[in-house]
Amino acid sequence: MIDVNYHLITAAGYAPSSDYFASFVRLGELGVIDAAFARGVARAAGLRNRLVHEYEDIDPVRVFSALGEAMRDIPTDVEAVHRHLRSQV
């Protein structure tokens, strides 16, 4: 998702976002995904960073909860991006 975010942002003529979280927020600002949804799904980027860089301090309960959110949010994000791409053709 994050790589797709960067591609969409740069294809729209903007500089890449400063971080993963900001890439979701920017897609919300550009109308690719709903702005409120963008702020919520951006938290997944924070979890990704914790999993990759701070794996010794992981709270398994928070990870389990985040996985449930991801299973709900990822299809919504993919559908919104797909709709946006179709509208560009």
12, with CB counted inside 10 A (0-12, 13-18, 19+), is middle
Token pair for 68:
């449930």
Asked if residue 55 lies in contact with residue 48, where contact means CB atoms within 8 angstroms, the answer is: no
User: Which residues are catalytic, by number?
Assistant: 48, 53
